Protein backbone atom coordinates (compact mmCIF):
# COMPACT_ATOMS: atom_id res chain seq x y z
CA UNK A 1 0.00 0.00 0.00
CA UNK A 2 1.41 3.38 -0.99
CA UNK A 3 1.83 5.85 1.89
CA UNK A 4 1.09 9.55 1.52
CA UNK A 5 2.64 12.15 3.78
CA UNK A 6 0.14 14.63 5.24
CA UNK A 7 1.17 18.23 5.85
CA UNK A 8 -1.41 20.41 7.58
CA UNK A 9 -1.22 24.19 7.25
CA UNK A 10 -4.49 25.14 8.99
CA UNK A 11 -2.67 27.23 11.60
CA UNK A 12 -0.92 29.35 8.96
CA UNK A 13 -2.62 29.17 5.57
CA UNK A 14 -6.02 28.36 7.07
CA UNK A 15 -5.79 31.31 9.46
CA UNK A 16 -5.52 33.60 6.42
CA UNK A 17 -9.15 32.83 5.54
CA UNK A 18 -11.59 35.69 5.86
CA UNK A 19 -13.28 35.78 9.25
CA UNK A 20 -10.85 33.32 10.89
CA UNK A 21 -8.67 34.35 13.81
CA UNK A 22 -7.16 31.65 16.00
CA UNK A 23 -6.06 32.66 19.47
CA UNK A 24 -2.78 31.36 20.84
CA UNK A 25 -4.69 28.82 22.94
CA UNK A 26 -6.73 27.76 19.89
CA UNK A 27 -3.54 27.06 17.95
CA UNK A 28 -2.10 24.98 20.77
CA UNK A 29 -5.29 22.93 21.05
CA UNK A 30 -5.44 22.32 17.31
CA UNK A 31 -1.83 21.23 16.93
CA UNK A 32 -2.27 18.73 19.76
CA UNK A 33 -5.45 17.35 18.20
CA UNK A 34 -3.69 16.97 14.84
CA UNK A 35 -0.87 15.13 16.61
CA UNK A 36 -3.40 12.76 18.20
CA UNK A 37 -4.90 12.14 14.76
CA UNK A 38 -1.47 11.21 13.38
CA UNK A 39 -0.68 14.02 10.93
CA UNK A 40 2.92 13.77 9.81
CA UNK A 41 3.68 17.51 9.66
CA UNK A 42 1.83 20.51 11.06
CA UNK A 43 2.82 24.02 10.07
CA UNK A 44 2.52 26.17 13.16
CA UNK A 45 2.91 29.59 11.56
CA UNK A 46 5.40 32.20 10.43
CA UNK A 47 7.51 33.14 13.47
CA UNK A 48 9.01 36.23 11.83
CA UNK A 49 5.67 37.78 10.89
CA UNK A 50 3.78 38.42 14.14
CA UNK A 51 4.06 38.16 17.96
CA UNK A 52 1.36 35.47 18.23
CA UNK A 53 3.31 32.99 16.11
CA UNK A 54 6.49 33.76 18.04
CA UNK A 55 4.61 33.03 21.28
CA UNK A 56 3.14 29.86 19.77
CA UNK A 57 6.54 28.35 18.98
CA UNK A 58 7.81 29.34 22.41
CA UNK A 59 4.89 27.52 24.08
CA UNK A 60 5.10 24.57 21.69
CA UNK A 61 8.63 23.80 22.93
CA UNK A 62 7.01 22.28 26.02
CA UNK A 63 4.67 19.98 24.07
CA UNK A 64 5.68 16.39 23.43
CA UNK A 65 4.46 15.25 20.01
CA UNK A 66 3.86 11.54 19.47
CA UNK A 67 3.22 11.61 15.73
CA UNK A 68 3.64 15.11 14.36
CA UNK A 69 6.70 17.07 13.33
CA UNK A 70 5.98 20.74 14.02
CA UNK A 71 7.27 23.01 11.25
CA UNK A 72 7.83 26.75 10.96
CA UNK A 73 7.16 28.68 7.75
CA UNK A 74 8.89 31.65 6.16
CA UNK A 75 10.21 33.11 2.92
CA UNK A 76 13.65 32.97 1.35
CA UNK A 77 16.08 35.72 2.26
CA UNK A 78 15.45 39.16 0.84
CA UNK A 79 17.32 40.29 -2.30
CA UNK A 80 20.75 41.81 -1.79
CA UNK A 81 21.51 40.49 1.71
CA UNK A 82 22.92 37.26 3.14
CA UNK A 83 20.80 34.70 5.01
CA UNK A 84 22.68 35.58 8.19
CA UNK A 85 21.42 39.18 7.88
CA UNK A 86 17.81 38.26 7.13
CA UNK A 87 15.27 38.68 9.96
CA UNK A 88 13.04 35.81 8.79
CA UNK A 89 15.97 33.40 8.64
CA UNK A 90 16.95 34.29 12.21
CA UNK A 91 13.39 33.75 13.47
CA UNK A 92 13.23 30.32 11.82
CA UNK A 93 16.41 29.22 13.54
CA UNK A 94 15.23 30.61 16.89
CA UNK A 95 11.82 28.90 16.65
CA UNK A 96 13.48 25.72 18.01
CA UNK A 97 11.78 23.38 15.52
CA UNK A 98 13.62 20.64 13.65
CA UNK A 99 11.91 21.21 10.29
CA UNK A 100 11.19 24.42 8.39
CA UNK A 101 9.44 25.27 5.14
CA UNK A 102 10.38 28.29 3.08
CA UNK A 103 8.75 29.57 -0.09
CA UNK A 104 10.36 31.18 -3.09
CA UNK A 105 9.31 32.46 -6.48
CA UNK A 106 8.98 30.11 -9.47
CA UNK A 107 7.24 32.52 -11.82
CA UNK A 108 9.48 35.00 -13.66
CA UNK A 109 6.60 37.48 -13.66
CA UNK A 110 6.59 37.48 -9.83
CA UNK A 111 10.37 37.71 -9.59
CA UNK A 112 10.51 40.84 -11.70
CA UNK A 113 7.24 42.51 -10.63
CA UNK A 114 6.74 41.48 -6.99
CA UNK A 115 10.31 40.94 -5.78
CA UNK A 116 11.72 43.54 -8.20
CA UNK A 117 14.96 41.63 -8.56
CA UNK A 118 16.75 39.65 -11.28
CA UNK A 119 16.04 36.07 -12.24
CA UNK A 120 19.59 35.05 -11.28
CA UNK A 121 19.36 36.69 -7.85
CA UNK A 122 16.12 34.81 -7.19
CA UNK A 123 17.90 31.51 -7.89
CA UNK A 124 20.65 32.54 -5.47
CA UNK A 125 18.09 33.45 -2.82
CA UNK A 126 16.52 30.00 -3.02
CA UNK A 127 19.80 28.08 -2.88
CA UNK A 128 21.47 30.30 -0.24
CA UNK A 129 18.47 30.25 2.10
CA UNK A 130 18.10 26.48 2.08
CA UNK A 131 21.82 25.88 2.47
CA UNK A 132 21.96 28.27 5.44
CA UNK A 133 19.05 26.58 7.25
CA UNK A 134 20.53 23.15 6.68
CA UNK A 135 23.88 24.37 8.01
CA UNK A 136 22.03 25.16 11.24
CA UNK A 137 20.97 21.52 11.55
CA UNK A 138 17.43 21.98 10.23
CA UNK A 139 15.49 19.86 7.77
CA UNK A 140 14.23 22.22 5.09
CA UNK A 141 11.27 21.93 2.70
CA UNK A 142 10.96 24.24 -0.29
CA UNK A 143 7.55 25.56 -1.40
CA UNK A 144 7.73 26.53 -5.06
CA UNK A 145 5.17 29.34 -5.01
CA UNK A 146 3.11 29.85 -8.22
CA UNK A 147 4.98 26.90 -9.75
CA UNK A 148 2.29 25.83 -12.23
CA UNK A 149 1.68 29.38 -13.47
CA UNK A 150 5.42 29.84 -13.68
CA UNK A 151 5.89 26.61 -15.60
CA UNK A 152 3.19 27.53 -18.11
CA UNK A 153 4.79 30.95 -18.63
CA UNK A 154 8.47 29.95 -18.68
CA UNK A 155 9.08 26.23 -18.10
CA UNK A 156 12.87 26.38 -18.18
CA UNK A 157 13.05 29.07 -15.52
CA UNK A 158 10.46 27.39 -13.30
CA UNK A 159 12.49 24.18 -13.44
CA UNK A 160 15.68 26.14 -12.76
CA UNK A 161 14.19 27.33 -9.45
CA UNK A 162 13.65 23.69 -8.46
CA UNK A 163 17.24 22.87 -9.43
CA UNK A 164 18.38 25.69 -7.12
CA UNK A 165 16.31 24.17 -4.29
CA UNK A 166 17.90 20.76 -4.90
CA UNK A 167 21.39 22.30 -4.82
CA UNK A 168 20.47 24.09 -1.58
CA UNK A 169 19.61 20.74 0.01
CA UNK A 170 15.80 20.75 0.18
CA UNK A 171 14.37 17.49 1.61
CA UNK A 172 10.98 18.03 -0.04
CA UNK A 173 9.99 20.23 -2.97
CA UNK A 174 6.37 21.33 -2.86
CA UNK A 175 4.74 22.38 -6.14
CA UNK A 176 2.19 25.12 -5.43
CA UNK A 177 -0.87 26.10 -7.43
CA UNK A 178 -0.97 29.35 -5.49
CA UNK A 179 -3.60 31.17 -7.55
CA UNK A 180 -5.76 28.04 -7.78
CA UNK A 181 -6.32 28.37 -11.51
CA UNK A 182 -4.85 25.14 -12.88
CA UNK A 183 -6.82 22.23 -14.30
CA UNK A 184 -6.31 18.61 -13.14
CA UNK A 185 -4.84 17.49 -16.48
CA UNK A 186 -2.35 20.37 -16.36
CA UNK A 187 -1.32 19.41 -12.84
CA UNK A 188 -0.92 15.76 -13.83
CA UNK A 189 1.17 16.49 -16.94
CA UNK A 190 3.46 19.02 -15.25
CA UNK A 191 4.06 16.87 -12.15
CA UNK A 192 4.95 13.93 -14.41
CA UNK A 193 7.53 16.07 -16.25
CA UNK A 194 9.01 17.36 -12.99
CA UNK A 195 9.37 13.81 -11.67
CA UNK A 196 11.62 12.99 -14.61
CA UNK A 197 13.97 15.83 -13.69
CA UNK A 198 13.82 16.06 -9.88
CA UNK A 199 14.73 13.14 -7.63
CA UNK A 200 13.82 14.88 -4.35
CA UNK A 201 10.37 13.76 -3.06
CA UNK A 202 7.62 16.07 -4.34
CA UNK A 203 4.63 17.54 -2.58
CA UNK A 204 1.51 19.35 -3.78
CA UNK A 205 -0.08 22.51 -2.37
CA UNK A 206 -3.30 23.63 -4.09
CA UNK A 207 -5.69 26.52 -3.62
CA UNK A 208 -9.38 26.28 -4.42
CA UNK A 209 -10.09 29.33 -6.60
CA UNK A 210 -11.44 27.11 -9.41
CA UNK A 211 -12.98 24.65 -6.89
CA UNK A 212 -10.45 22.06 -8.00
CA UNK A 213 -8.00 21.99 -5.08
CA UNK A 214 -8.95 18.45 -4.01
CA UNK A 215 -9.11 17.16 -7.60
CA UNK A 216 -5.77 18.81 -8.44
CA UNK A 217 -4.15 17.35 -5.33
CA UNK A 218 -5.37 13.87 -6.23
CA UNK A 219 -4.09 14.29 -9.80
CA UNK A 220 -0.70 15.32 -8.41
CA UNK A 221 -0.56 12.27 -6.14
CA UNK A 222 -1.43 9.99 -9.04
CA UNK A 223 1.38 11.61 -11.04
CA UNK A 224 3.94 10.98 -8.30
CA UNK A 225 3.67 13.50 -5.46
CA UNK A 226 4.54 12.00 -2.09
CA UNK A 227 3.34 14.76 0.22
CA UNK A 228 -0.08 16.45 0.24
CA UNK A 229 -0.64 19.83 1.87
CA UNK A 230 -3.98 21.31 2.84
CA UNK A 231 -6.14 22.62 5.67
CA UNK A 232 -8.97 21.27 7.80
CA UNK A 233 -12.30 22.20 6.18
CA UNK A 234 -10.41 23.82 3.31
CA UNK A 235 -9.95 27.08 5.23
CA UNK A 236 -7.60 29.56 3.61
CA UNK A 237 -7.15 32.82 1.76
CA UNK A 238 -9.69 33.78 -0.92
CA UNK A 239 -11.53 30.53 -1.77
CA UNK A 240 -9.42 28.40 0.56
CA UNK A 241 -6.98 25.52 0.31
CA UNK A 242 -7.29 21.84 -0.53
CA UNK A 243 -9.69 20.39 2.04
CA UNK A 244 -7.96 17.64 4.02
CA UNK A 245 -11.33 16.42 5.28
CA UNK A 246 -12.12 15.41 1.69
CA UNK A 247 -8.60 14.58 0.56
CA UNK A 248 -7.86 12.07 3.30
CA UNK A 249 -10.96 9.87 2.78
CA UNK A 250 -10.47 10.06 -0.99
CA UNK A 251 -6.85 8.95 -0.71
CA UNK A 252 -7.74 6.21 1.75
CA UNK A 253 -11.03 4.80 0.47
CA UNK A 254 -10.92 5.70 -3.22
CA UNK A 255 -7.21 5.39 -4.00
CA UNK A 256 -6.27 2.66 -1.53
CA UNK A 257 -3.45 4.71 0.00
CA UNK A 258 -2.32 4.98 3.60
CA UNK A 259 -2.70 8.39 5.25
CA UNK A 260 -3.57 8.59 8.94
CA UNK A 261 -2.51 5.68 11.14
CA UNK A 262 -4.91 2.95 12.24
CA UNK A 263 -8.59 3.81 12.20
CA UNK A 264 -8.08 7.55 12.63
CA UNK A 265 -9.75 8.35 9.31
CA UNK A 266 -13.05 7.61 11.04
CA UNK A 267 -12.37 10.59 13.34
CA UNK A 268 -12.19 13.08 10.49
CA UNK A 269 -15.74 14.40 11.07
CA UNK A 270 -14.90 15.00 14.72
CA UNK A 271 -11.75 16.88 13.68
CA UNK A 272 -13.69 18.99 11.17
CA UNK A 273 -16.20 20.12 13.78
CA UNK A 274 -13.54 20.69 16.43
CA UNK A 275 -11.58 23.06 14.19
CA UNK A 276 -14.71 24.87 12.94
CA UNK A 277 -15.73 25.48 16.54
CA UNK A 278 -12.35 27.04 17.42
CA UNK A 279 -12.40 29.02 14.17
CA UNK A 280 -15.87 30.31 15.15
CA UNK A 281 -17.16 29.22 11.75
CA UNK A 282 -20.46 27.43 11.18
CA UNK A 283 -19.75 23.95 9.79
CA UNK A 284 -20.68 23.73 6.10
CA UNK A 285 -23.56 21.25 6.02
CA UNK A 286 -22.93 20.34 2.37
CA UNK A 287 -19.24 19.58 2.87
CA UNK A 288 -18.43 16.12 1.44
CA UNK A 289 -17.79 13.29 3.89
CA UNK A 290 -18.01 15.37 7.10
CA UNK A 291 -20.95 17.74 6.54
CA UNK A 292 -24.27 17.11 8.28
CA UNK A 293 -25.91 16.76 4.85
CA UNK A 294 -23.25 14.43 3.41
CA UNK A 295 -25.38 11.39 4.27
CA UNK A 296 -28.78 13.08 4.55
CA UNK A 297 -31.67 11.72 2.49
CA UNK A 298 -34.86 13.61 1.67
CA UNK A 299 -36.62 12.16 -1.39
CA UNK A 300 -39.09 9.36 -0.67
CA UNK A 301 -37.76 7.16 -3.48
CA UNK A 302 -34.23 7.52 -2.09
CA UNK A 303 -35.27 6.60 1.44
CA UNK A 304 -37.27 3.60 0.27
CA UNK A 305 -34.22 2.22 -1.53
CA UNK A 306 -31.91 3.21 1.33
CA UNK A 307 -33.83 1.01 3.77
CA UNK A 308 -33.26 -1.97 1.51
CA UNK A 309 -29.55 -1.27 1.08
CA UNK A 310 -27.70 1.97 1.97
CA UNK A 311 -25.36 1.44 -1.00
CA UNK A 312 -28.22 2.48 -3.29
CA UNK A 313 -27.62 6.15 -2.44
CA UNK A 314 -24.37 6.29 -0.43
CA UNK A 315 -20.89 5.96 -1.92
CA UNK A 316 -19.35 4.90 1.40
CA UNK A 317 -20.62 4.03 4.87
CA UNK A 318 -20.86 7.25 6.94
CA UNK A 319 -19.23 5.55 9.92
CA UNK A 320 -15.98 5.25 7.95
CA UNK A 321 -15.47 9.01 8.42
CA UNK A 322 -17.24 9.28 11.77
CA UNK A 323 -20.40 10.75 10.30
CA UNK A 324 -23.96 9.45 10.53
CA UNK A 325 -26.92 8.87 8.25
CA UNK A 326 -29.89 11.23 8.46
CA UNK A 327 -33.33 10.94 6.93
CA UNK A 328 -35.24 14.18 6.47
CA UNK A 329 -38.96 14.77 6.38
CA UNK A 330 -40.38 17.42 4.06
CA UNK A 331 -42.97 17.97 1.35
CA UNK A 332 -40.85 15.66 -0.82
CA UNK A 333 -41.09 12.81 1.69
CA UNK A 334 -42.88 9.54 1.33
CA UNK A 335 -44.09 7.06 3.92
CA UNK A 336 -40.60 5.52 3.92
CA UNK A 337 -39.15 8.71 5.39
CA UNK A 338 -41.69 8.78 8.19
CA UNK A 339 -41.27 5.11 9.11
CA UNK A 340 -37.51 5.54 9.15
CA UNK A 341 -37.90 8.44 11.58
CA UNK A 342 -40.25 6.39 13.77
CA UNK A 343 -37.59 3.72 14.12
CA UNK A 344 -34.92 6.37 14.70
CA UNK A 345 -37.00 7.76 17.59
CA UNK A 346 -37.65 4.22 18.95
CA UNK A 347 -41.40 4.63 18.50
CA UNK A 348 -43.46 1.46 18.27
CA UNK A 349 -45.18 2.14 14.95
CA UNK A 350 -45.22 -0.92 12.72
CA UNK A 351 -47.65 -0.17 9.95
CA UNK A 352 -48.54 2.44 7.37
CA UNK A 353 -52.20 2.87 8.25
CA UNK A 354 -54.52 5.85 8.15
CA UNK A 355 -53.10 7.52 11.27
CA UNK A 356 -49.53 7.40 9.95
CA UNK A 357 -50.54 8.82 6.60
CA UNK A 358 -52.50 11.56 8.35
CA UNK A 359 -49.38 12.53 10.32
CA UNK A 360 -47.36 12.65 7.09
CA UNK A 361 -49.94 14.87 5.41
CA UNK A 362 -50.01 17.20 8.42
CA UNK A 363 -46.22 17.52 8.32
CA UNK A 364 -46.33 18.30 4.61
CA UNK A 365 -49.01 20.93 5.21
CA UNK A 366 -46.87 22.50 7.91
CA UNK A 367 -43.92 22.65 5.49
CA UNK A 368 -46.21 24.32 2.98
CA UNK A 369 -46.92 27.01 5.60
CA UNK A 370 -43.19 27.59 6.10
CA UNK A 371 -41.97 25.01 8.61
CA UNK A 372 -38.67 23.38 7.70
CA UNK A 373 -37.95 20.28 9.74
CA UNK A 374 -34.61 19.58 8.05
CA UNK A 375 -32.91 22.01 10.42
CA UNK A 376 -35.31 21.45 13.30
CA UNK A 377 -35.38 17.78 14.16
CA UNK A 378 -36.17 18.61 17.77
CA UNK A 379 -39.51 20.13 16.71
CA UNK A 380 -40.12 17.23 14.36
CA UNK A 381 -39.56 14.65 17.09
CA UNK A 382 -42.01 16.49 19.36
CA UNK A 383 -44.68 16.61 16.63
CA UNK A 384 -44.38 12.86 16.15
CA UNK A 385 -44.50 12.11 19.87
CA UNK A 386 -47.57 14.29 20.30
CA UNK A 387 -49.37 12.10 17.77
CA UNK A 388 -48.64 8.88 19.68
CA UNK A 389 -48.14 7.38 23.12
CA UNK A 390 -50.29 9.87 25.06
CA UNK A 391 -47.53 12.47 25.13
CA UNK A 392 -48.11 15.26 27.67
CA UNK A 393 -46.57 18.72 27.63
CA UNK A 394 -44.36 19.42 30.68
CA UNK A 395 -45.72 22.98 31.03
CA UNK A 396 -48.43 25.22 29.57
CA UNK A 397 -48.58 28.95 28.82
CA UNK A 398 -51.44 30.91 30.41
CA UNK A 399 -50.47 34.45 29.55
CA UNK A 400 -47.54 36.37 28.09
CA UNK A 401 -46.92 40.10 27.90
CA UNK A 402 -43.85 41.86 26.48
CA UNK A 403 -43.04 45.51 27.01
CA UNK A 404 -40.50 47.55 25.11
CA UNK A 405 -39.53 50.96 26.44
CA UNK A 406 -37.52 53.41 24.33
CA UNK A 407 -36.11 56.22 26.43
CA UNK A 408 -34.99 59.75 25.60
CA UNK A 409 -31.38 58.84 26.42
CA UNK A 410 -31.37 56.26 23.63
CA UNK A 411 -31.61 53.19 25.89
CA UNK A 412 -34.10 50.46 25.02
CA UNK A 413 -35.54 48.26 27.75
CA UNK A 414 -37.41 44.97 27.13
CA UNK A 415 -39.33 43.05 29.77
CA UNK A 416 -41.34 39.83 29.50
CA UNK A 417 -44.05 38.92 32.03
CA UNK A 418 -45.24 35.34 31.93
CA UNK A 419 -47.85 33.13 33.61
CA UNK A 420 -47.47 29.37 33.24
CA UNK A 421 -48.88 26.15 34.64
CA UNK A 422 -46.38 23.46 35.58
CA UNK A 423 -48.12 20.39 36.95
CA UNK A 424 -50.31 21.62 39.78
CA UNK A 425 -48.44 24.91 40.12
CA UNK A 426 -49.08 28.28 38.55
CA UNK A 427 -45.98 30.39 38.03
CA UNK A 428 -46.00 34.15 37.52
CA UNK A 429 -42.63 35.79 36.81
CA UNK A 430 -40.86 38.49 34.81
CA UNK A 431 -37.43 39.04 33.33
CA UNK A 432 -35.58 41.69 31.37
CA UNK A 433 -33.39 41.28 28.31
CA UNK A 434 -31.43 43.24 25.74
CA UNK A 435 -34.31 42.68 23.31
CA UNK A 436 -37.82 41.19 23.37
CA UNK A 437 -36.71 37.68 22.40
CA UNK A 438 -33.93 37.68 24.97
CA UNK A 439 -36.39 38.87 27.63
CA UNK A 440 -38.81 36.15 26.57
CA UNK A 441 -36.10 33.48 26.81
CA UNK A 442 -34.98 34.74 30.22
CA UNK A 443 -38.55 34.76 31.60
CA UNK A 444 -39.27 31.27 30.29
CA UNK A 445 -36.14 29.84 31.89
CA UNK A 446 -36.76 31.72 35.15
CA UNK A 447 -40.26 30.25 35.36
CA UNK A 448 -39.08 26.67 34.79
CA UNK A 449 -35.64 26.45 36.43
CA UNK A 450 -36.91 25.32 39.85
CA UNK A 451 -39.05 22.56 38.31
CA UNK A 452 -36.53 21.36 35.73
CA UNK A 453 -32.89 21.88 36.86
CA UNK A 454 -31.64 20.37 33.60
CA UNK A 455 -32.60 23.63 31.86
CA UNK A 456 -29.57 25.30 33.47
CA UNK A 457 -27.34 23.15 31.23
CA UNK A 458 -29.16 24.26 28.06
CA UNK A 459 -27.86 27.29 26.20
CA UNK A 460 -28.85 29.04 22.99
CA UNK A 461 -26.20 28.28 20.33
CA UNK A 462 -27.80 30.03 17.36
CA UNK A 463 -30.90 32.06 16.46
CA UNK A 464 -31.95 32.74 12.88
CA UNK A 465 -34.90 34.66 11.44
CA UNK A 466 -35.98 34.47 7.83
CA UNK A 467 -38.79 36.33 6.08
CA UNK A 468 -40.55 33.69 3.98
CA UNK A 469 -42.27 36.02 1.53
CA UNK A 470 -41.68 39.75 1.48
CA UNK A 471 -44.86 40.76 -0.37
CA UNK A 472 -46.62 41.70 2.88
CA UNK A 473 -43.75 43.86 4.10
CA UNK A 474 -43.40 43.95 7.88
CA UNK A 475 -46.49 41.73 8.18
CA UNK A 476 -44.86 38.86 6.28
CA UNK A 477 -44.63 35.33 7.61
CA UNK A 478 -41.31 34.69 9.37
CA UNK A 479 -39.52 31.50 10.29
CA UNK A 480 -37.36 31.31 13.42
CA UNK A 481 -34.77 28.56 13.78
CA UNK A 482 -33.17 28.04 17.17
CA UNK A 483 -30.19 25.81 17.89
CA UNK A 484 -29.71 24.75 21.51
CA UNK A 485 -26.90 22.84 23.19
CA UNK A 486 -26.41 21.16 26.55
CA UNK A 487 -22.66 20.90 25.98
CA UNK A 488 -22.96 17.33 24.74
CA UNK A 489 -25.52 17.51 21.97
CA UNK A 490 -27.06 20.18 19.74
CA UNK A 491 -30.66 20.23 18.53
CA UNK A 492 -32.70 22.53 16.32
CA UNK A 493 -36.27 23.76 16.74
CA UNK A 494 -38.57 25.97 14.68
CA UNK A 495 -41.41 28.44 14.88
CA UNK A 496 -43.44 30.04 12.07
CA UNK A 497 -45.82 33.01 12.37
CA UNK A 498 -46.45 36.49 10.95
CA UNK A 499 -45.52 37.63 14.49
CA UNK A 500 -41.78 37.26 15.20
CA UNK A 501 -42.39 37.01 18.95
CA UNK A 502 -44.85 34.14 18.52
CA UNK A 503 -42.50 32.33 16.12
CA UNK A 504 -39.65 32.79 18.59
CA UNK A 505 -41.84 31.52 21.42
CA UNK A 506 -42.69 28.35 19.47
CA UNK A 507 -39.02 27.65 18.75
CA UNK A 508 -37.89 28.41 22.32
CA UNK A 509 -40.58 26.26 23.93
CA UNK A 510 -39.74 23.36 21.61
CA UNK A 511 -36.02 23.77 22.37
CA UNK A 512 -36.56 23.41 26.11
CA UNK A 513 -39.24 20.71 25.80
CA UNK A 514 -37.09 18.58 23.54
CA UNK A 515 -34.06 19.12 25.78
CA UNK A 516 -36.05 17.92 28.80
CA UNK A 517 -37.27 14.91 26.85
CA UNK A 518 -33.71 14.00 25.87
CA UNK A 519 -32.55 14.47 29.46
CA UNK A 520 -35.30 12.20 30.79
CA UNK A 521 -34.63 9.48 28.22
CA UNK A 522 -30.90 9.62 28.96
CA UNK A 523 -31.57 9.37 32.70
CA UNK A 524 -33.88 6.37 32.21
CA UNK A 525 -31.34 4.67 29.97
CA UNK A 526 -28.56 5.15 32.52
CA UNK A 527 -30.84 3.91 35.29
CA UNK A 528 -31.62 0.73 33.35
CA UNK A 529 -27.91 0.18 32.67
CA UNK A 530 -26.98 0.51 36.35
CA UNK A 531 -29.67 -1.93 37.51
CA UNK A 532 -28.98 -4.56 34.85
CA UNK A 533 -27.90 -7.92 36.23
CA UNK A 534 -24.20 -8.74 35.77
CA UNK A 535 -23.38 -11.32 33.14
CA UNK A 536 -22.15 -14.76 34.17
CA UNK A 537 -18.38 -15.04 34.04
* Angle at alpha carbon of residue 207, lines to 100 and 214, rounded to 5°: 105
CATH classification at residue 444: 3.30.160
What is the DSSP code string of 251-295? IIIIS--B-SSTTGGGGHHHHHHHHHHHTT----TT-TTTSTTTT
Q: Please, which pLDDT band fits residue 360 given cuts at 50, 70 and 90?
A: low
Are 219 and 158 in a shared domain? Answer: yes
- pLDDT at site 534: 45
Both 309 and 171 in a single domain?
no
Residues 255 and 341 in one domain: no
CA gap 248, 4 in Å, rounded: 9
Q: Are residues 257 and 361 in the same domain?
A: no
Check residue 533 and give its pLDDT.
46
The domain that contains 485 carries what CATH number?
Answer: 3.30.160.340
What pairs with residue 495 in β-bridges?
480
Residue 506 lies in a domain: yes
> What percent of the chain is modeled with pLDDT above 90?
64
Domain with 495, as residue range(s), is 370-394+456-526
- pLDDT score for 106: 97
Q: Is 32 exposed, middle or buried (0-12, 13-18, 19+ CB in 10 A)?
A: middle
Is 532 part of any domain? no
* pLDDT, tens digit, 9 for 90 and up, residues 426-480: 999 999 998 899 999 999 999 999 999 999 999 888 888 888 765 556 567 888 8
In a domain, 74, yes or no: yes
What CATH number is given to the structural domain containing 116? 3.20.20.70
Torsion of CA 187, 193, 194, 195, to 10 degrees: 110
| Residue 291 counted as domain residue | no
Q: Domain boundary at 219, 250, 278, which?
A: 278
Domain for residue 284, yes or no?
A: no
For residue 308, name the pLDDT band (cuts at 50, 70, 90).
Answer: confident
Distance CA 144, CA 155 (A): 13
Least confident of 331-345, 451-465, 492-506, 509-523: 331-345
d(CA 294, CA 245): 12
pLDDT at 524: 67
- Model pLDDT, residue 158: 98
Q: What's the order of all strands across the beta sheet hosting 425-433?
A: 396-406, 412-422, 425-433
User: Mean pLDDT of all residues in the chain?
Assistant: 88
Same domain? For 302 and 379 the reply is no
* Burial readout 150-186 (b: 16 or more C-beta within 10 A, e: otherwise): bbeebeebbbbbbebbbebbbebbbbbbbebebebeb
Tell me the C-alpha distance between 38 and 43, whole Å: 14
Are 163 and 178 members of one domain?
A: yes
Pair 386, 403 in one domain: no
Mean pLDDT across the stretch 92-99? 95
146 and 20 assigned to the same domain:
yes
Number of domains in the chain: 4
- Which among 494, 501, 509, 441 is positioned nearest to 464, based on CA atoms? 494
* Nearest CA-CA partner of 179 in 151, 218, 140, 221: 151
> Residue 12: its pLDDT value, please?
96
- Residue 283 in domain: no
Residues 360 and 495 in one domain: no
pLDDT confidence of residue 346: 60
Last residue of a domain, one of 451, 466, 485: 451
H helices of 96-232, in order, are 108-110, 119-135, 147-153, 155-168, 184-197, 213-222
Is residue 326, in this structure, part of any structural domain at all?
A: yes
**pLDDT at residue 339 tops 80:** no
Summarised one tens digit per residue, pLDDT across range 377-435 is 788 778 777 766 567 888 999 999 999 988 778 788 899 999 999 989 999 999 999 88
- Which pairing describes strands 396-406 and 326-327: parallel, antiparallel, or unpaired? unpaired
Residue 231: pLDDT band (50, 70, 90) is: very high
In a domain, 71, yes or no: yes
- pLDDT exceeds 50 at position 500: yes
Q: Rounded to 5 degrees, what angle do the CA atoms 287, 293, 256 make?
A: 55
Per-residue b or e along 325-335, where b marks 16 or more CB atoms closer than 10 Å to that residue's CB: bbbbbbeebbe
Q: Say whether both 246 and 365 belong to one domain.
A: no
- DSSP at 112: I
Residues 409 and 513 in one domain: no
- Residue 332 pLDDT > 50, yes or no? no
Q: Assess whether 378 and 356 both reside in one domain.
A: no
Better-scored residue on pLDDT, 58 or 375: 58
CA distance 453 to 283: 30
**Is residue 492 predicted with pLDDT exceeding 80?**
yes
- State pLDDT tens for residues 38-92: 999 999 999 988 899 999 999 999 999 999 999 999 999 999 999 999 999 999 9
**Quick one: pLDDT at residue 537?**
32
Prediction pTM value: 0.71
Measured CA to CA, the distance from residue 106 to residue 206 in angstroms comes to 15
pLDDT score for 471 = 56
Amino acid sequence: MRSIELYDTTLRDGAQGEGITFSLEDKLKIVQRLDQMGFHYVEGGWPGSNPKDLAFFKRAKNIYFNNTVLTAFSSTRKPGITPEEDHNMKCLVESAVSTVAIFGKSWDFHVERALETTLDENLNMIQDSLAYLISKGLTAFYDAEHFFDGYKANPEYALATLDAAVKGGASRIILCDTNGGSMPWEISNIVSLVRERIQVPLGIHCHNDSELAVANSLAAVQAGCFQVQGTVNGYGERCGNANLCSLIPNLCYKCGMETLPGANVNRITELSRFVSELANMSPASSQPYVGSSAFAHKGGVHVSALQKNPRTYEHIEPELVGNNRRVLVSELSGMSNLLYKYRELNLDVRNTGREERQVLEELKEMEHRGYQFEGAEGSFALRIRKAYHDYQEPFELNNLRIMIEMRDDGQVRSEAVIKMTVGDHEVHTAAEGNGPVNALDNALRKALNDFFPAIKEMHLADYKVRVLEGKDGTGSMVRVLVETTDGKKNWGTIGVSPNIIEASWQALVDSITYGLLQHEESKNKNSMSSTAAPADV
